[in-house]
Structure 1
């Protein structure tokens, strides 16, 4: 996989991932004998076997239980008393629906996996399936062919979103993503601000120590992100050079003195640049996805959750189905 492909895999897939990485934990679907079918208005269906649903469910079930223990399933997740178990079932259904819809979109747009990509999926399938313990397999009841098919659907959705947003004007400049860090002193009176301004401008003055001692604000260090709607304080901060101290700033009845301690936070800027690009990709893809799904409604077959029990499969520990996929792109 070339570097361009790696970058795409890391950058675009967040919109779809939000449908499940925040979403999942589901229980034992092995009791469900039917295939889960998503019917669209034209009569075609995207299908998930019980084993595929169980693979997704077990992955996130174990991930959550590793953090919160199995006691979380009966905990109320919102003010209306919806349990965490019910919430996750709904989120899991949303993810599977979106995955099916994007695969249907791929079919309409003629997006397919190449032979090389199919080989990558097969290698990934072999790696994942060989890592499953007898207890995992007993809980999931999934075959290697089902794993290959699920990874293929996932990869195809990845590729589809990437291709359909590739030609959009999605560049994010360093200036647009810029993040800086400042120290700031806040005072109630201009007289005190003038006294402190002279103090911080003395030779070898320690601005940070003075700010900690003298500032009327509870916070003295700030990380600021560039935007087109900066207020007066933020505009001043972004106008400062490295280690430069501002003049006294009057704003909303208070008086401020700022010092720039990082005129370009490289790590934070890089992270924000990636986040802004992901947001642009999400908006660009939504312009394609929303009208498509309105014309191709997809739903999960009724009864798919009957017999689901989150408390079973205590010895099933596999939690890296999606992690392995994304590591493939790194």
Structure 2
């Protein structure tokens, strides 16, 4: 599927554009300004009608922003339930945070399109045809209420799909030289089970772990070792060598285990555990990890180029237009998702 695996990486590592951070005070990213390479802010009153912001020569109009915001809200509600929009984190409502994320993502797309122009990257005739298909499908899904709420037109929808497709084309261009070959050893993923003993008394936890380890070595079923011990629980997990979730000593000890081998008791932050290696080489997880490693490298390489490019841009935000917006009904009637429509159309070879 075209670019499908890139999404969660590329938007996670790109810097939130300072223009939106200053205008909305929503990102809460916590970085000092001097640590980031961001577009320069230009204060101006020379905006076109419905122009919400500009970055360099690229402009974003209000209907585009409202569509991104509505789509992000809908995705979040579908995952966590409708009540999620009323919650707040550290004094900021979830809805405000989602607005910041949506506008940041849209600003990133506009910046990537400027990169495309700078690098001579364009849309092919096939790309343009697919954008037309996507726009036709999405526009047909919008109700009259959706169109009125967004101030949407077919031309805007088509332009948004073209912007999105061009952004991924420049991503592919920047990252085309990243080596996609990852060795089994580098990506190797193991699957384990562990008996975790949590107790405020580490000496007692070690004593119980030693007793359970002896039972396991004597042939008792590993999965039943925790039975009858309320402080002990059975867990199953997988990880690769490059995991940052566990300590290096713990990871190295687990990777030294052969399939079906059981470790001696180990002290970990959660307590004391004994580990059984279920598979010292999980092929499916290893193959999946190869994909993750390649996409992470691509995203890191792109982020460096993107950051350098963005630092030379100027940007402006129409705060007067934004202050006029009252985003009360943020969910659309359509059952189509803008980004999923793109994936569906562009995944067709």
Same-fold status (TM-score > 0.5): yes
How many Å apart are 1:166 and its aligned residue? 1.3
Alpha-carbon contact 1:179-1:265 (below 8 Å) kept? yes
State the alpha-carbon separation in 2 of the partners of residues 147 and 202 from structure 1.
67
Alpha-carbon contact 1:211-1:220 (below 8 Å) kept? no
State the alpha-carbon separation in 2 of the partners of residues 213 and 314 from structure 1.
50
Q: Is 1:245 equivalent to 2:265 in the alignment?
A: no
Q: Give the corresponding residue for 1:225.
A: 240
Instruction: String of CA shifts for 1:169-198, please: whole Å, max 9, x gaps.
Output: 454433333322223356848876665444
Q: Give the corresponding residue for 1:209.
A: 224
How many Å apart are 1:154 and its aligned residue? 0.5
Alpha-carbon contact 2:265-2:273 (below 8 Å) kept? yes
How many Å apart are 1:275 and its aligned residue? 3.0
- CA RMSD across the alignment: 3.5
Q: Give the corresponding residue for 2:333.
A: 316
Q: Is 1:290 equivalent to 2:307 in the alignment?
A: yes
How many Å apart are 1:223 and its aligned residue? 2.9
State the alpha-carbon separation in 1 of the partners of residues 261 and 74 from structure 2.
51
Give structure 2 stretches of 5+ with no counterpart.
15-23, 25-47, 198-202
Alpha-carbon contact 1:186-1:215 (below 8 Å) kept? no
How many Å apart are 1:120 and its aligned residue? 1.0
Alpha-carbon contact 2:193-2:278 (below 8 Å) kept? yes
Aligned residue for 1:181, secondary structure, equals strand
State the alpha-carbon separation in 2 of the partners of residues 191 and 270 from structure 1.
39
Q: Give the corresponding residue for 1:35.
A: 51
Normalising to structure 1: TM-score of the pair? 0.77
How many Å apart are 1:283 and its aligned residue? 1.0
Aligned residue for 1:305, secondary structure, equals helix
Q: Give the corresponding residue for 1:114.
A: 124
Q: Is 1:48 equivalent to 2:27 in the alignment?
A: no
How many Å apart are 1:216 and its aligned residue? 6.1
Residues 286, 313 of structure 1: alpha-carbon distance in 2 compared, 3 angstrom cutoff: closer
State the alpha-carbon separation in 1 of the partners of residues 221 and 121 from structure 2.
60
* Residue correspondences, number: 305
